[in-house]
Chains A and B, each alone.
Chain A
Amino acid sequence: MAKVTRKPKPGLLFEQVDWDFDRLRRTYDAIEEVARKDLEIDVYPNQIEIISSEQMLDAYSSIGMPLMYRHWSFGKHFLSHERLYRKGARGLAYEIVINSDPCISYCLEENTMPLQALVMAHAAFGHNHFFKSNHLFQQWTDAEGILDYLEYARRYIAGCEELHGPGRVEAVLDAAHALMPYGVFRHRRPRRLSLQEAEEQRRERIAAAEQNVYYLWNTIPDIPGSKEEIDAALQERKREMQLPEENLLYFLEHYSPILESWQREILRIVRNVSQYFYPQKQTKVMNEGCACFVHYYILNKLYAEGRVSDGAMLEILHNHTNVLTQPDFDDPRFSGINPYALGFAMMQDIRRICEEPSEEDREWFPDIAGKGDWRSVLKYAWANYRDESFLQQFLSPAVMRRFRMFALTDETGDSHLTVTGIHDTSGYRHLRDVLARNHDISNTDPDIQIVDADLLGDRCLHMRVIKRDRVPLDAASRDATLKYVERLWGYKVKLEEVEATL
């Protein structure tokens, strides 16, 4: 082979596979140019951090956060990730991105230059834009406050360990973690607070929390007042508790008769972290789809402009395709619908519908078919939907056909599964409904509420699970989790499972 002189061609952002900060900066600027001027996307300022593989392991064993309080479960996840990684069973993520202002993206030092370009376009613009513009994130998370808050949480919990011993803190954290998915407000969002306000309120809360458990002393017999009065007070108390309550951690934090104030604060911290991740759980398809769409668009654009070489583009496409593989249901690698693949396919499809719609599209999407301006359609979708509603609104027959989707029902007692719909004219709407429901976490997570607290009797806490489609809770984990609830409530806890009444 003739030796080719390695002189960077004019316009090429990078030639070699090795990266350095100079090339990163140059490439970032080019990506930003396309992102802002062409796609017109709006992002938080970016902070891109290069980290080693060990640091990457650290980062994603603490649920991807740069700072976290200490707990053994993070150590467990570190070890299990590390084991898989060392065995080669699982690669490391190329990037982790944090919904914060500035938006922090972690890039692995082992990435090649083309991969770094991909990662920057994906994380620093795709995810970043989604975090900034999607209404769920806007409404439910505080990008500018989260790092401060975590720093506060870490210090607070470390302080508790010093004061009360690691064992007691661990006991509270274990229990709180078990209830973490049930520590979110699904329908209302408390007013945002600055850190100082939060600190002031914390003090008030401590006082209030102590008043809340005051009723325990009220049961001392020499209290004046008739039985009716006590009953009335009790009813009042229950009304104040606003039962039923679905935010279990919130309820326990406020009304548990046995917790000390520092324990309540720990519950609050865990609850806040959980709440912070709630929008991410609801937007996996959209978030990854947005990031993939953005990186794909930007890098193709740069390639078309001659700023990315053929070789680099091949490597980028190779990685792009890897991420977007959707194994069939009968493939051993199959583990559900790949949110990257689905999100990306739908967003590409939206663009197609806007630009060159078919008859079918005109019928299904009269608002956007042939509209041409796909940028604003996508931006509107990114901003205003979550997975469930996005699928319901935008999943097209074309995508269903491409994935060759079909729906199955599984009924206990029936020895067979039934195909309830496939990708044909009669099945599209059904498939879309089912897939949307599969992506609605308020539908896939068990529906659990606290319905009553028997304050003057045995102080038993009554919880209720409303079973959907008669699907019960997993018995072993239910019992183990109930023990944790009992630990936090201090008295007996009863959980009844009832059928949904529809």
Chain B
Amino acid sequence: MAHFVDRRLNPKDKSLSNRRRFLKRVRAQIREAVDEAVRERGIADVGRGKSVSVPTGGVAEPTFRQAQEGGRRERVFPGNKTFQTGDRIAKPRGGAGGGGRQGAQSGEGEDDFLFALSREEFLDFFFEDLELPDLVKQSLKEITRTHPRRSGYSITGSPANINVARTMRNAFGRRIGLRRPKDKEAQELVNRIVQLERVSSPTEEQKKELAALRVKCDEVTRRRKVIAYIDPLDVRYNYFQQQPEPNANAVMFCLMDVSASMGEREKDLAKRFFMLLHLFLERRYEKTDIVFIRHTHDADEVDEETFFYSPQTGGTVVSTALVKMKEIISERYSPSEWNIYAAQASDGENFSGDSAKCAGLLSQELMRICQYFAYVEIVDEDEAQLINSEASGMELWESYRQVVDIWPNFARKRVARVSDIYPVFRELFSRSRAGEPHG
């Protein structure tokens, strides 16, 4: 006799903990691969799963086994077509002895072990790189808000959700269908019986009628008892489904200075900042757009590739980027429909006199329509040691101080290394906005 068991509903991820152990084991390599991925991938792709190639170094499982070459070996093969005993065959080039793959059976022949990190696993490492405290990881990974929405009826539910109209309608239909005697009918019968009973000396006919009526009345009462007025079957409950809150749209403007002073390191830091911002927005809004604006003395809207990798340089006029942003907003992103975010990354150098113009543009026009505007100044690591006070800074930094004073949704921060990004980001997006919902 066989015993059949359905295990499909048993917990699946039995090897989850083994996987975690494995990830822990290859942590260093994964971090490198994640880093690489961050550098190579687009901002919008950062949250997607990614295959990460891990060399066998730390995860090889060696054991004693025979070498591929040396000595004498003899093996049997299938599929002989032309060979005769005694034939001599030139060894295949690079052939691992005998042409067989004796040693590779245990799978140790592979040089590279490639596997995919899931989105969550990837983000764990991505955030770890940014030195993300657990506290805020949650807010970034928060599930989209849902809202219960009416969607039809159900036959189970809590009493508070009973839909009276629907329940009564069902009950009514059932009563008609099963021919439940109506109240009026029953009442009339009773009245008639009472009337007949009052007759002091009933005729034979009346006696008969009374008897018949009594029988009928019993039957009616019985049916009324058996066929309930409201049966549990009739009850309907309002059914609510958890539906994701329809989120508004968000657009993120990435403004970057690409003048000569913005080197590889600076762009990489900027990119990480933008990635983080994008992840953040993506969690909160149904649709997020990214607009890349780079500027030298002139500003262009470009694609991501050009934004980060184009070698163009030139003089620096920051205000051109802000003007461009304004243009694009008025063309495509009406502030009534879009939540507008902007992040500006720069090393803080600007054409003299232009910084005041930037501050003016922001204060008078852009800040009015932006949800949030973050300015990140990327500084050298040793420079960061020197200017760690808010007060002193480059020209742009100085000018933006006026904007900070007027607009609470404007923030500026200095960043020198990768591990700075998250704290800065966090400060930018939580400071003074804690109680206020974003968007």
B18 and A74: CB pair below 8 A? yes
CA distance A48 to B7 in the complex (A): 10
A25 and B4: CB pair below 8 A? yes
A21 and B4: CB pair below 8 A? yes
A417 and B19: CB pair below 8 A? no
A417 and B70: CB pair below 8 A? no
CA distance A55 to B113 in the complex (A): 22
CA distance A384 to B15 in the complex (A): 37
B3 and A419: CB pair below 8 A? no
Binding-face segment, B87-95, B134-142, B151-159: B87-95
Distance (whole angstroms) from the CB of A61 to the closest CB of chain B: 6
Asked if A356 CB lies within 8 Å of chain B CBs, one says: no
CA distance A328 to B115 in the complex (A): 31
A418 and B21: CB pair below 8 A? no
B90 and A415: CB pair below 8 A? yes
Binding-face segment, B58-66, B386-394, B408-416: B58-66
Binding-face segment, B78-86, B273-281, B334-342: B78-86
Across the two chains, which residue of chain B brings its CB closest to A178? B63
B90 contact set on A, CB distance < 8 A:
415-417
Asked if B2 CB lies within 8 Å of chain A CBs, one says: yes
A55 contact set on B, CB distance < 8 A:
7-8, 10, 12, 14
B:46-61 near A, CB below 8 Å: 51, 59-61
Contact code string B88-128 (vs A, CB < 8 Å = 1, else 0): 11110000011111110101100001111000000000000
A408 and B14: CB pair below 8 A? no
A468 contact set on B, CB distance < 8 A:
71
A435 and B86: CB pair below 8 A? no
Q: A72-B59, A78-B18, A408-B89 are in contact. Are A438 and B78 (CB under 8 A)?
A: no
B105 and A427: CB pair below 8 A? no
B18 contact set on A, CB distance < 8 A:
61-62, 70-75, 78
A:15-51 near B, CB below 8 Å: 21, 24-25, 28, 32, 45-51
Q: A469-B71, A471-B73 are in contact. Are A75 and B105 (CB under 8 A)?
A: no
CA distance A72 to B17 in the complex (A): 8
A166 contact set on B, CB distance < 8 A:
21
CA distance A374 to B105 in the complex (A): 34
B88 and A178: CB pair below 8 A? no
B2 and A405: CB pair below 8 A? no
Q: A178-B62, A406-B80 are in contact. Are A61 and B4 (CB under 8 A)?
A: no
Asked if B68 CB lies within 8 Å of chain A CBs, one says: yes
B78 and A328: CB pair below 8 A? yes
B115 and A410: CB pair below 8 A? no
A45 and B67: CB pair below 8 A? no
Asked if A478 CB lies within 8 Å of chain B CBs, one says: yes
Across the two chains, which residue of chain A brings its CB closest to B114? A83
Number of A-B contacts (CB under 8 A): 274
CA distance A170 to B10 in the complex (A): 28
Q: A337-B76, A408-B99, A434-B75 are in contact. Are A170 and B7 (CB under 8 A)?
A: no
Across the two chains, which residue of chain B brings its CB closest to A86? B116
Distance (whole angstroms) from the CB of A80 to the closest CB of chain B: 6
CA distance A471 to B90 in the complex (A): 20
CA distance A18 to B103 in the complex (A): 41
Asked if A52 CB lies within 8 Å of chain B CBs, one says: yes
Binding-face segment, A139-147, A179-187, A261-269, A305-313: A179-187
Asked if B5 CB lies within 8 Å of chain A CBs, one says: yes
Asked if A367 CB lies within 8 Å of chain B CBs, one says: no
Asked if B145 CB lies within 8 Å of chain A CBs, one says: no
A329 contact set on B, CB distance < 8 A:
77-80, 99
A469 contact set on B, CB distance < 8 A:
71-73
CA distance A78 to B16 in the complex (A): 9
Distance (whole angstroms) from the CB of B102 to the closest CB of chain A: 8
Contact code string A460-474 (vs B, CB < 8 Å = 1, else 0): 000001011111111
A:65-100 near B, CB below 8 Å: 70-76, 78-80, 82-83, 86
B61 and A73: CB pair below 8 A? yes
Binding-face segment, B22-30, B165-173, B222-230, B305-313: B22-30
A470 contact set on B, CB distance < 8 A:
70-72
Q: A48-B2, A405-B77 are in contact. Are A472 and B66 (CB under 8 A)?
A: yes
Q: Determine which of A25, A51, A102, A423 lies in contact with B8 in the assembled complex, contact meaning CB atoms within 8 Å.
A: A51
A28 contact set on B, CB distance < 8 A:
2, 4
CA distance A427 to B64 in the complex (A): 33
Asked if B74 CB lies within 8 Å of chain A CBs, one says: yes
A48 and B64: CB pair below 8 A? no
B17 and A422: CB pair below 8 A? no
B interface, size bucket: 35 or more
Asked if B6 CB lies within 8 Å of chain A CBs, one says: yes
A331 and B103: CB pair below 8 A? no
CA distance A58 to B202 in the complex (A): 89
CA distance A106 to B5 in the complex (A): 9
Asked if A124 CB lies within 8 Å of chain B CBs, one says: yes
A408 and B12: CB pair below 8 A? no
Q: Determine which of A25, A403, A416 lies in contact with B89 in the assembled complex, contact meaning CB atoms within 8 Å.
A: A416
Across the two chains, which residue of chain A brings its CB closest to B87? A419
Asked if A346 CB lies within 8 Å of chain B CBs, one says: no
A86 contact set on B, CB distance < 8 A:
116
B65 and A79: CB pair below 8 A? no
B107 contact set on A, CB distance < 8 A:
80
Q: Determine which of B22, B64, B101 lies in contact with A72 in the assembled complex, contact meaning CB atoms within 8 Å.
A: B22
A54 and B79: CB pair below 8 A? no
CA distance A86 to B83 in the complex (A): 40
A422 contact set on B, CB distance < 8 A:
80, 83-85
Asked if A407 CB lies within 8 Å of chain B CBs, one says: yes
B61 and A177: CB pair below 8 A? yes
Asked if B182 CB lies within 8 Å of chain A CBs, one says: no
B21 contact set on A, CB distance < 8 A:
70-72, 75, 166, 170
A:419-435 near B, CB below 8 Å: 419-424, 426-427, 431, 434-435
Distance (whole angstroms) from the CB of B112 to the closest CB of chain A: 11
Asked if B233 CB lies within 8 Å of chain A CBs, one says: no
A412 and B74: CB pair below 8 A? no
Distance (whole angstroms) from the CB of A113 to the closest CB of chain B: 14
B76 and A406: CB pair below 8 A? yes
Asked if B20 CB lies within 8 Å of chain A CBs, one says: yes
B7 and A473: CB pair below 8 A? no
B75 and A407: CB pair below 8 A? yes
A419 and B12: CB pair below 8 A? no
Distance (whole angstroms) from the CB of A479 to the closest CB of chain B: 8
B114 contact set on A, CB distance < 8 A:
83
Distance (whole angstroms) from the CB of A72 to the closest CB of chain B: 4
Asked if B69 CB lies within 8 Å of chain A CBs, one says: yes
A:106-160 near B, CB below 8 Å: 106, 109, 124
CA distance A157 to B370 in the complex (A): 57
Q: Determine which of A51, A83, A330, A409 lies in contact with B73 in the assembled complex, contact meaning CB atoms within 8 Å.
A: A409
A109 contact set on B, CB distance < 8 A:
8
Across the two chains, which residue of chain A brings its CB closest to B60? A480
Q: A80-B115, A415-B91 are in contact. Are A423 and B64 (CB under 8 A)?
A: no
B113 and A76: CB pair below 8 A? yes
A418 and B86: CB pair below 8 A? yes
Asked if A475 CB lies within 8 Å of chain B CBs, one says: yes
Contact code string A477-496 (vs B, CB < 8 Å = 1, else 0): 11011001000000000000
Distance (whole angstroms) from the CB of A398 to the closest CB of chain B: 14
Q: A75-B23, A408-B77 are in contact. Are A417 and B89 (CB under 8 A)?
A: yes
Asked if B1 CB lies within 8 Å of chain A CBs, one says: yes
Distance (whole angstroms) from the CB of A498 to the closest CB of chain B: 13
B64 and A446: CB pair below 8 A? yes
Across the two chains, which residue of chain A brings its CB closest to B72? A469
CA distance A214 to B8 in the complex (A): 53
Interface pairs (6), CB distance under 8 Å: A62-B15, A72-B22, A83-B51, A410-B98, A410-B99, A477-B108
The 3 tightest CB contacts between A and B, nearest first, are A328-B79, A75-B22, A75-B18
Known: A46-B3, A477-B62, A477-B108. 9 other contacts (CB 8 A): A32-B2, A50-B6, A62-B14, A73-B59, A74-B18, A166-B21, A403-B78, A412-B97, A435-B76
> Residues of B at under 8 Å CB distance from A?
1-8, 10, 12-15, 17-25, 51, 59-81, 83-91, 97-103, 105, 107-108, 113-116
